[in-house]
Amino acid sequence: MSKTTIIVGLGSCGLAAGAGKTYNEIQRIKETDKLNFELKKTSCIGACFREPLVEIIDDSGSYLYGNVDVSKVDEIIEKHIQKFSPVTEYIVASDKFKSKDQAFFDGQVKIALRNCGHIDPESIEEYEKNKGYEAIKKISKEKLTPEQIISVVMDSGMRGRGGGGFSTGMKWKFASNNVSNQKYVICNADEGDPGAFMDRSLLEGDPHSILEGMIICGYAIGASEGYIYCRAEYPLAIKRLNIAIEQAKNKGYLGKDIFGIPGFNFDIKIKEGAGAFVCGEETALIASIEGERGMPRRRPPFPAESGLWENPTNINNVETFANIPWIIYNGADKYNKYGTEKSKGTKVFALTGKINNGGLVEVPMGVTIEEIIYKLGGGIPGDKKFKAVQLGGPSGGCIPEYLSHTPIDYDSVNATGAIMGSGGMVVMDETTCVVDIAKFFLDFTQKESCGKCTFCRIGTKRMLEILTRITEGEGQEGDIETLEELSNTIKDSSLCGLGQTAPNPVLTTIKYFRDEYEAHIRDKKCPAVKCKKLLTYEVIPENCTGCTVCVKGCPVDAIEGERKEVHFIKQEVCTKCGVCFTKCKFNAIKLS
């Protein structure tokens, strides 16, 4: 009989939900009661909507428990470990039966996330047990040349999992073709949109896959040094990367003559960034590594020709590198059987917003937005109507419900006005105001603009001012046209991807929800009843009991009414603070 294993998810999301306390409680019970099971750590499993997550593996199968706070630990251990009776009502997924959350897992194909939530990220031995570093051993054993490696990556159809979706193999080929005594490989782990959650989870959950992908790239393009550019706000990711780098060095996977390949020397360093969104742009990232202010540079020359310290440099993001070892080990044909004609493989999304099952999902390219939201995501909370999804992060675009049949591939998504980006997927329901959402994302990109380009620096500020006026009931005729004109000018005149894509939320919300903009401007109404200064608070006479709670709570004495009589809100005095709506226990205050 094999020993029972308990694995606790200790990624950032799990720790935030209290998984550290859960782990400590399980450890305390194990030591106090002298129970015979192995307690292990892992990282984010992806089902963030059920954190803290605890998996129990025994002779009968695997059982993933969700929402395991300290109060549930005793019951689970007593019934499952001591009495061999799984507590089915807490189980999120199992290989023995279908749980209510099984659809979240069944619709996924995990390549980039293959090890996340399954191995101890601080153990190189566990990575090796799961075919870790086998891709490089295959290169050494079969004596594959750099040209052959690049050919495999090109044949796989792998496109960069960052913003533009450029061919990964082609990018490597450009860097390989440039002759230089010094070349660099950079992993961009600083993308600052919701998809950065995916980057962080991969770094925390499977750091060795990133290292192995970078080592393979280094061999393919002839580089001897790599940098992982990671924002300092990810301390757990940086901690585990440092552990992984040290382990790889001790094993001889980093250093000189790696895997017995004569003359192949490769080392990796971590550069901690200050968390500037613009440093997700490759030339700004390069400037930051060089010790300069993170600001984009004019291209050409592209980094493949003149990058870090003017040497040929290849830059890919975290998800891209995580795919590489799997592709090399399993072959191009196995990878490109997933996806569509022009978008191969899988894509990881950080599913968030008005969704029941928020978390990380990895799906084959070609599945529709609707499938992700309703099958994996479990639909919209409270059975509210799905309105739109913001795809591609702050610089992405808003795709309306009637286009939810759109397949997830680069060309189809771009055709809607959105971008794939690094995988942020923010779901909105009928209570979401798209004008306010456009303002929210533009506020972020405007603050993150490095200021180098006049149109980006000033244009986004003027746009934000207009959007703010509109949401405060001061919109004017012509504002929509001005927003469109400014947007197109900024897109055409900005130097980098941040400026070129910053207007996307505004352009797509105008394109698909122009009537909502017009309602804000002409009728001074917010159809979603969200914009505070456009709201009207009114008493519903048949519901009012005259309890006077709202009268006592109103800070400006805008409500009149005697006890046990219907009250009245003086609109000319009301500041729209919402206290009456919050305090009323009889649903007697309505918003319009």
Q: Where are the domains of the chain?
A: 4-106, 124-335, 346-429, 434-523, 535-591
Given the structure tokens 């990109």, which residue do they identify? 445
Confidence band, pLDDT 50/70/90 cuts, at residue 194: very low
Distance, CA of 554 to CA of 564 (rounded, Å)? 17
pLDDT at 274 over 90: no
Distance, CA of 398 to CA of 377 (rounded, Å)? 18
Q: Coil, strand or helix: which one is 47?
A: coil
Phi, psi for 337 (deg, rounded to 5): -75, -15
Give me the mean pLDDT over the 539-560 stretch: 92
Confidence band, pLDDT 50/70/90 cuts, at residue 232: confident
Give me the mean pLDDT over the 113-134 stretch: 96
pLDDT tens for each residue of 423-451: 889 999 999 999 999 999 999 999 988 88
pLDDT at 273 over 90: no
- Whether residue 482 contacts residue 469, with contact meaning beta carbons closer than 8 Å, is answered with no
Identify the pLDDT of residue 1: 41
CATH for the 346-429 domain, from 3.40.50.300, 3.30.70.380, 3.10.20.600, 3.40.640.10 = 3.10.20.600
Give me the mean pLDDT over the 141-147 stretch: 95
Distance, CA of 279 to CA of 287 (rounded, Å)? 9
Of 403, 349, 393, whose CA–CA distance to 511 is shortest?
A: 403
Find all residues with CB under 8 Å of 250, minimum gap 6, and list them: none
Query: Checking DSSP bridges between strand 346-353 and strand 424-429, what pairing results, if any?
Result: parallel
- Whether residue 237 contacts residue 230, with contact meaning beta carbons closer than 8 Å, is answered with yes
Identify the pLDDT of residue 66: 96
What is the CATH number that goes with domain 124-335?
A: 3.40.50.11540
pLDDT tens for each residue of 352-407: 999 999 999 999 999 999 999 999 999 999 989 999 999 988 888 999 999 999 99
What is the CATH number that goes with domain 535-591?
A: 3.30.70.20
Distance, CA of 155 to CA of 48 (rounded, Å)? 34
Q: Return the percentage of the chain with pLDDT > 70, whole number.
A: 98
Average model confidence (pLDDT) for the chain?
A: 93
Identify the pLDDT of residue 55: 96
DSSP string, 48-60: GGG-S-EEEEETT
pLDDT at 514 over 60: yes
H-helix or E-strand spanning residue 309: none
Distance, CA of 585 to CA of 590 (rounded, Å)? 12
Which amino acid makes up residue 100? Answer: K
Instruction: Report angle CA 434, 357, 394 to the nearest 5 degrees.
Output: 35
Integer-rounded Cα Rg, in Å, for the chain is 27
- CATH fold of 434-523: de novo design (two linked rop proteins) (1.20.1440)
Q: 203 forms bridges with which residues in the sheet?
A: none
- Whether residue 52 contacts residue 7, with contact meaning beta carbons closer than 8 Å, is answered with no
pTM of model > 0.85: yes
Identify the pLDDT of residue 333: 96
Identify the pLDDT of residue 196: 64
- So what CATH class is 4-106? alpha beta
pLDDT tens for each residue of 442-493: 999 999 888 899 999 999 999 999 999 999 999 999 999 999 999 999 999 9
